[in-house]
Every structure is written in structure tokens, then in C-alpha cells.
Structure 1
């Protein structure tokens, strides 16, 4: 009886011992004894152990098909979930003798891991052939999926979580990959979606009239391709649909008009934009898809929505287009009746009012497009292969030089320009620019915090370009070096004819020009330009 009593007391004491605290005695995590601790104490103990464990911050060596990837835990969201680990430790049964080892709960961002691993090891295995339904005209064609062999994000994540803290490389296996949409389901989509969709037109009915969507437009905008899991989710692509029926939409829609700058009495003036009315095809897309699969009603009722201008007067006001920052003028001969002069004025008319937003780059070629006969340009002398010869758009280089200098003296960033091969005294040496579609361009970047508005003006003998904005620099000036390495022209006799343009010849030379940016009475920075001019031959039109 005495012995039995001793055993009972011992068992009672042992029971009290193993149940003290939140964590049962005998429980360890990462080698740390958590028995008898509260949840807070256990969490603090685990965090201390993790902070001292180099494995938790060291790059993880992951192997795939013999290819290695070294990824940092922080880059893929690989970590120990301390709270979940403590919960698991607290949920177990106590051990009076020995220990109960609880594995830490590891988490990882499966998507980030998959992306990083794929970038590191490249293509492995065999890609899965994704299912799709394509159209040849109005005939749908089923593309059946084929299984592949590759990385499965979920399997990869589980493998990395399990092997992370083992101390060795983690071997990630490849698995057979299957498309979420099966071949039978592709065939079913052909019958239930693709074929009915192009069987007849759709009609969009609005207060401004109706728009007929022909089957060909439906085929172009119906998307039946799979996502990266191989799942086909039928949808109408609103952008493709708008392109396919653009002409029909124009009969019921009114385009919004952006606010813009005009010039009045030689100064910029803001003209408010106007709202437009349009069909929200993105919002209509689900209804259009439903109607396209219907054999009965294929008419959708729609309400025209208000389309606000992309750029309003308030936005233009904030751009700080308030003063003439720079202006530059060059002279041209021949009067306005000359084809060359007419080309200069045509380019000036096109560019007048161009607005360049902060951070944007202006390209003269992109802004005007091709400068050909259809755009109103005429034949005038151009330099091709070192020879002056008639060419469409000749003279636009003078406008380009004038524009270049206006932006140059406005202090804007030069992105691309090329001086002429020969020097012409109607231009400032070095700081001038030619242009030729499409190979030679002139570009500048608006690197100021304000908008840049370009104004142009002309007389019978001059072209002027002005830049309106808010001044960043007090003044921009130029200093030139002396001309050096001067070379004399040779004489070249060319066959007489309409393609021969005689010249008196010009010396060649090399020269530097420094752009000086002035602020608060001192030069804040200097920018050097250097150019070598070839000697222009003295061309004589006569016998060969």
C-alpha cells in the first residue's frame, strides 16, 4: 500500500510536470527545448535560434536536371512561420521520457520561386503544348494539348520547403505537365462556342444607332487560347474588336477632343477640350460573348458612355507654358516661291503647336512622318553621297537647324542631331543639323519639369522657331574655338543635266562649340560639341 501510494504521487507529480506552460515538456524545434514555455516565450526562443542559424539567410542551392540555381531566401519568400510552428508545438502530446521533435513550418512564395528558378536554370524538360482554337477565315480549328515534362510550381515549392534546412542541395524533380483544358474539352468548345459565334452577325443597339458586328470581326476578337496552365477561358478582346469594326463605330461614336494650345496675338492660349461619346466594348464583352453563343437573340442593348478628354485644360495650365524661353531665326534665299522655301514653311506649319511633356523625347521624323510629295513637299537640292542633287523635301534641314538651335538655347537635352557634311554660312557652325527620312533624325528631350510648346513663324526670307515654357536657366550661350585643320575644295566636273547643281566650293575645317548654362550669375555647366566639315567640291556642270 505504501509503495502504491508512492507511485500514485510520482505519477501525479509527473503529470503536473509535463503539462506546465503552453508547450508540452519534451518538445524541441530546431534543437531548441521549448518544453514548459508559454507561446510567447517559445516564439522568442525560435526567433533567437533562427537569427543564429546561418542556413536561414544563406543562399539555397537548388538543383534541376543537373543545373544549379543559387537563390536567396528573401528573394523567393522562403522563411519559417514562427507562429504556425509554435501552434504545432503546442498542439502535440507531452513526453515524460525522451523528446518530441517538431519540424518548423516553412513558407515560400511559389510564384516567385518558380519565376526565379526558371530564369536561373532556363528551359528544362519538354514544354507542354497548349490547347487553342484558331480561325482560318470563319472556320475554327482545334489545337489539342500534348503533355510535357517540366517544373510544377506547387511540387517545386513543397520540395524546397522540405529540403531547405537540411544543409545540402535541394533536388527539385520534373513532373509530367498536363493542360487544364483537355482535348475533349477543346472539341466541345469548338461546338458550343467557336462555331456558333461566327454563325451570324451580332448587333449592338444604342441611342445613337446600331452597329453590326460581322462574323469576320467576331473571329478576329474571340480569344480561345490557353493561359500558362493550359486553361482556355473564352473571351472577347475589346481592343481587337474595336480595331475590327472601327469604321462602323465611327457612325455612332464621337471622339473626345483634348485641350490644346493655340497662338493668339503671338502668345499661347488654351482651348478647352470636349467630351466624346462612345461604346464601352470592354464592359459589353461578356454580353457579346453570351450572345455570340446564342442561336436566338444576337442583339445587345448598350448605352453610350461619356469619354472625357485625355488631356484637359487644367492639366495644360499646370505645365507652366508661360514665357518665351528662347527663339532662333535663320535666313533663306529665293523668296516663298522657291520650292526649297516652300518645304521649309510646310515643315514649320506642321510643327507649330507641338507640345512636349516633361520627360518626353521629341523626334522630328516621327512627328512629321515621311516628307514626300503626298505631304506637300517639293523637289529641292539635297546632299546625297556628297553631291547636291534634287530631292523631295530639300530645305527641311534649314528648319531642322532652326528648331535645333531654339531647343539648344532653351537648355533642353540634345538626344540626336548631325551637322551637314559641308558648312553653309547661313547656319551657325557646329551647332546645326541636317535631316533625311528615315535615316537621319533630330531629337531632343524635355528634361525640364515644365511643358515645352513650339511656335514657328516665317517671312519671305526667314524662318523662326520659338520655345515657350518656364525658364530653368537664366541664359544659354555659345563659345566657339578657332577653326583648325582647314582643307581646300577640289574641282569636280559632272555631266550637264537636271541632276547637276553647280557650286563654287567651300573650305573644310574642324571646330568646337561649347554650350554654357548660366544660373545666378555664373556658368553652372558646359557642354562640348565638335564637328569636322568636309571641303565641298567646286562642282562644274559640263562635259564628262
Structure 2
């Protein structure tokens, strides 16, 4: 019996010693029998297990993941969402088997513990991809709206919007990357305007749909009292209304209709002016009074009237407009004296340029500026257009010399400017040309550019009486004379002082495929840049002396040639267009 006891004690001691040795061996190793990601890792260190799992899973096919948003689903590869195997985390989970529970260790020894592959998720890639998907699924709410259809206002119902909870989906997938379904929790977005809110608005708007007649009456005594009517139909009235959560008048559309009516029926006054009689004598052409719609006042009143369903006729505000210069205020032609005159020459100009000079000069001839009034060149010559007799000729536009309607009118504005300046009148607006123009030589810096509607020439008539402008022209010269009542002022205009001079750049050659090979056509001419100054000294009747300076700064200008294909340009680079 004693022997049996000793044998039992020996077996127990051996078992305990073996278990202790087994514990010591697996202190830094995975317990025997454990599998991870389908490969045995028992007996391996954490680093060895990690390496073995990495080798076994490097070609693992990512699982498919179903994205769900309400009743919509989308199947994607988990790799698109930043999913990838995590060999280290998988090895750590295998290493943890049996560390706290004996039953796990015994199960491992029996080969019953299989640790699944543990994935990890790239949070940045996940967020980026989910946001792209959400952008395709999300949509904003659509407000109900009132539209004009088939002669009446109707309400288009609202639609709720959809917003997905991206943050919650990201957090869920990062915590549970093994799941096969990832749900976006959709949130319905409520529209701001609903059909129930807009139905009363549409009903009120429909009450405003009636024909409205606009009445334009020529005022007495300047007009005959003639009445012009313009009826706006229902569709046109609807175009003048803006109907949403409230009803407003479309001021822009209404302003356009009023401008059309004004252009059709307004008669602007014509000032009295001097003109040549059939016998060639200077006589007074009487003024003609006119009338004009007061568009701001009419717009203000009509905006209110259109919102009154009972109103079907509206009288426009039309007011008389009297001429500023009246025949009774003009002295007899024989009493006018020459205040100043200027002459410029344009021999060699094209036929079109000469025609434009003559057209502008004819319109300027007889123009009267009342005492204290403003000489306005653009107003005096009228609209520079083909309809008004002007032709296309070379003009300076956007840094280039190009063809444009009215090329040559600056010959007239420059000549008029010199007369105004020499008469000692205050210059309110004058613009130099971009570069020195040869037609205005030999005096440099004594020109005035005009370009409707942006550039004008304006001066104040500060003489004691009205001033009349006379023009005389030939095929090569233009003279502008100013007649009025002299006040005894003496005016001296100096010769120009050249402050600086900048040489012009080399010519530019541009290939123009419309020209034949070897053909050269000059379209711009070289001229140096100049900074100039002219001084004007005025001795007033009371003996007071005043001076002012006319400064000009002209850019250097290069010659530009258009050349046909394969045309050599000596010493210069050929640019293509």
C-alpha cells in the first residue's frame, strides 16, 4: 500500500512539474493547439505568429459589405471602406487564449480553438468613401412653390429631403469591422414651405390675374392730349409678379415695359439753336418743348397698383419738359462775336474717316450752350451709329487700332476742345488718346478722345451770354468757331513742353491665314511715348490772372503687321493668332 502511495505521489509530482514546465514554456508563446486566421500558431511567439498570419492573409479577398439607407441598398467591397487584415491584432487575440480561463487552454490542446482573422479599418479612407456614397444618396428638401401654368397659378407640392448619419456609420464600422451590413440612419429633412402654406398665396395671386391697361396721355399744353394705350394680358401681368411665400412685383420686368413705352411715346425737347437758312444766313431755329414719362414715379405707383385686384386701368405719370435754350433768349446772330476758333487737318484720311468727320461736324454746327450751361459733345452730335449716318473706320479700342463705327469723330472733338480751351472755358471732362495720333500734330498733348457712352468732352460756358458753335470743313481740314458775348478775358495757351519721351517697341508680325503667302498688311503704326504739359494763362476782366495745366501721358506704340503664311519677318518673332 505504501508503495502504491509513493507511485501516486510520484505521478502527481511529475504532472505538476510537467505543467509548470509547460506554463514556463508558453509564458511568451501562444498555447499549443491554437489556430488563428486558419493557420496553426501554437508554440509561436507573438512576433512569429504575427509574421505567419501576415504571410497567410496577404492575398485575402476582402468581404462584401451591404450599405443600407432606408429602402436603398448598395453592395461594396470592404476594401473600398479602408478594410484590411490586421495580423498583429489577430496574433494578440490568439496569444490571449487560455491566459485567464483553463477551459480555453484545454480546448486549445484538443484543437478546438480557432481565432478568426481580425481586420482593421482606415478611418480616413472610410470617411472619404462613405461621404462620396452619401453625397449620391442624400438630397435636400424641396420647398413647395407657386408656378404660373395654363393661365393660372398652381402649387407644386413640397418634397422632404434625406440626410444620412455618416458619423454614426463610421463609428459603428470601426468598432465592428466584421459585420456584413452597415446601416446609415436616414433623417428626413422638412421643407421650409409646404403646399398648405402656399395655397392661400396662390389663391390671392390668381385674383390679381386680370388685363391691365396702361394709359399714356400727352400732357397739355405742349402735347395734343393724345392718349396711347397698352394693355397687359394675363400672362404678361403674371410675368410682372413674383409669387412664392408672398406676392411681390418684379420691378426689373416692370421697369423694362415702362422704358419701352417711354421710348415709343416720349418727345424730348429740342433747344433753340442757330442754323443756316436756304439763303445761307445764320438764323434761329425755335425751340420745341416736349414731354417725358417720369419713370421712377410711375414705377413706384404701379408697383402698388398691380397688387390691387380691382384696378384694370392705370394712368402713367407723364410731365412736360421744356427746352433749356429758348429762341427769345438768343441774341441776334449779327450781335455774336468770335470768342475762339481752332483748325485741324486730316489730309490723307480714308473716305470713311472723312465722312465721319463731316457727319459729326454737321451735327455740332449751330449747337447752343446757354450762359452757365454745359457744352456736352456727345449730346450735341447725337448717337454715333450706322443708323445716324456714321461709317466704320479705324478707332482705338482696348489697346489696339481696330475698325469701329465713328472712327474720325475724335478729329471733331479735338478741334472743339482746342477752341474751348483757347476761349478760357473751364474744362469739366477731357480724355487723351492712348497714344500720340498723327492727325493732331504738330501740337502734342492737345487732343480730346471721345467714345460713347464712356468718354465725353464737357466744358462750362461761363461767359455772360449763350454760346453758339459753328463748324466749317473741307476734304482736308475742319474749323470750329465759338461765338458769344465776350467779357474781356485774355487767354494765352503755351506750346507743349515735352517732359519725357519713351522709344516705341519693335514691330509685331501676326500671321493671318486670310492673307496670301508673302503678303504684308500694316494695321498699327509705331509712335514714341510722350509725357507733355501745356499751360493756359487767363487774364480776367478784373485783372486777376489764373493758370492751369493740361497734362498728357501717351504710351509708346508698336507697329503691327499682319502677314500671310510663310512670310519671313526680318529680325522679329512672328506671333500666331
User: Which TM-score band applies after superposition, normalised by the shorter structure?
Assistant: 0.3 to 0.5
Q: What's the TM-score once normalised by structure 2's chain length?
A: 0.45
Q: What's the TM-score once normalised by structure 1's chain length?
A: 0.48
